Structure 1
Amino acid sequence: MTLLRKFHQVDVFTARPLRGNPLAVVHDASGLSDGQMAELAGWTNLSETAFLLPPTDPAADYRVRIFTPGGELPFAGHPTLGSCFAWLAAGGTPRDAAQVVQQCGVGLVNVRREGERLAFAAPPTRVEPVESDLLDRLYPVLGVKAHEVRAAAWLTNGPRQLALELDSAATVLRLQPDHAALKTLTKVGVVGRHAKGQECDVEVRFFAAPIGIPEDPVTGSLNANLGRWLMADGRLPRRYTAAQGSCMGRAGRVYLHDDGQTLWVGGDVVPLVEGTIQL
Structure 2
Amino acid sequence: MPRPYAIYDVFTSDRLAGNPLAVVFDGQGLSDSRMQAIAREFNLSETVFVTPPENPAHSARLRIFTPGRELPFAGHPTVGAAVALAELNHNGGEADLVSVFEENVGPVRCAVKLLSGQAGFAEFDLPKRSEQLSSTIDPQKVADALCLSVSDLGFENHRSSVWSAGVPFVMVPVRDIAAAGSIAFDAGRWTAALGKTSAAYVYCRGGVDHRASFHARMFAPDMGIAEDPATGGAVAAMSGAILHFDALADGHHALVIEQGVEMGRPSHIDLHLEIKNQQVLRARIGGRAVKIASGNLFL
How high is the TM-score relative to the length of structure 1? 0.90
Equivalent of residue 171 in structure 1, options 176, 179, 191:
179
- Deviation, 1:92, is 7.3
CA contact (8 A) 2:173 2:203 kept: yes
Aligned to 1:251: 266
In 1, Cα distance between the equivalents of 2:216 and 2:166?
Answer: 19
For structure 2, the residue ranges without an aligned partner over 5 or more in a row are 115-119, 276-280
In 1, Cα distance between the equivalents of 2:20 and 2:98?
Answer: 23
- Listed one character per residue, the Cα deviations across residues 58-93 of structure 1 (whole Å, up to 9, x for unaligned) are 442110000111010000100001111111122179
Aligned to 1:205: 217
CA contact (8 A) 1:142 1:178 kept: yes
Aligned to 1:101: 100
Query: Structure 1 residues 255 and 31, CA, compared in 2 at 3 Å: closer, same or farther?
Result: same
Q: Find the residue that maps to 2:159 and give its secondary structure.
A: strand
CA contact (8 A) 1:118 1:266 kept: yes
Q: Find the residue that maps to 2:83 and give its secondary structure.
A: helix
Q: How does 1:135-214 map to 2 (within 5 A)?
A: 135-147=139-151, 148-149=153-154, 150-184=158-192, 185=195, 186-194=198-206, 198-214=210-226
Q: How does 1:42-191 map to 2 (within 5 A)?
A: 42-91=40-89, 98-113=97-112, 116-122=120-126, 123-133=128-138, 135-147=139-151, 148-149=153-154, 150-184=158-192, 185=195, 186-191=198-203
Would you say how many aligned residue pairs link Structure 1 and Structure 2? 273
AA aligned to 1:35 is S
Percentage of identical aligned residues = 31
CA contact (8 A) 1:129 1:152 kept: no
Query: Structure 1 residues 197 and 13, CA, compared in 2 at 3 Å: closer, same or farther?
Result: closer
- Listed one character per residue, the Cα deviations across residues 82-120 of structure 1 (whole Å, up to 9, x for unaligned) are 111111122179xxx641111101001111136752111
Aligned to 2:278: none
Calculate the aligned-residue CA RMSD, in Å. Answer: 2.3
Higher alpha-carbon deviation: 34-43 or 123-132: 123-132
CA contact (8 A) 1:162 1:188 kept: yes
In 1, Cα distance between the equivalents of 2:113 and 2:90?
Answer: 18
